[in-house]
Amino acid sequence: MTTPSARLAALGLELPPVAAPVAAYVPAVRHGDLVHTSGQLPFIGTAMAVTGKVGPGGVSLDDAAMLARTAALNALAAVADAAGGLDNVERILKVTVFVASEPSFVGQPAVANGASTLLGEIFDGGHVRSAVGVAALPLDAAVEIEVVAVVR
């Protein structure tokens, strides 16, 4: 059995530094055996990877799915920090994906698959998920993700 950190490395990935909050909150809170993250944006370093709404004339579905993957990595960094390391994470329990959507866009589940697929490659067991279209997100992000994880 391989560890989450070994699976992450096998994917050629590493956790980024925990993103600094952009307002009055903390990135993650541990309560008992659960870690809840605040909404995590698709930052690469300190820059937003892509901004705008997903849909016709805006951010493409493929780009939005990659942004969801990036935001999921940022969420994992916050979870790992609160848990004392990625290998202390037993599983991802719940993922909520918010997608800033053009009015006609209804592909939020496909965007969320960018996060779910990555998390499924790192952790055994599935997770429950919501994919929600919204009018706007902080800093004009196209995607925002919240995660609940079970930790040791």
pLDDT tens figures, 42-92: 999 999 989 999 999 999 999 999 999 999 999 999 999 999 999 999 999
pLDDT band at 142 (very low <50, low <70, confident <90, very high): very high
Q: How many domains does the chain have?
A: 1
Q: Return d(Cα 141, Cα 63) in angstroms, integer.
A: 12
Contacts of 147 (CB under 8 A, 6+ apart): 35, 36, 37, 40, 72, 75, 76, 78, 79, 92, 94, 95, 96
* pLDDT at position 49: 82
Mean pLDDT of the chain: 96
* pLDDT at position 4: 97
pTM: 0.96
User: Mean per-residue pLDDT for 112-123?
Assistant: 97
Specify the higher pLDDT residue, 8 or 22: 8
* pLDDT at position 75: 98
* pLDDT at position 124: 86
pLDDT band at 109 (very low <50, low <70, confident <90, very high): very high
Pairing of strands 128-134, 89-100: parallel
pLDDT band at 125 (very low <50, low <70, confident <90, very high): confident
Pairing of strands 89-100, 143-151: antiparallel
pLDDT of 1 higher than 80? no
* pLDDT at position 10: 96
Q: Which domain holds residue 52?
A: 4-19+27-151
Check which CATH number belongs to the domain holding 43 and give it: 3.30.1330.40
Contacts of 40 (CB under 8 A, 6+ apart): 19, 27, 71, 72, 74, 75, 78, 144, 145, 146, 147
Q: In the numeric block, which tokens belong to residue 147?
A: 């995660």
User: Mean per-residue pLDDT for 95-112?
Assistant: 98
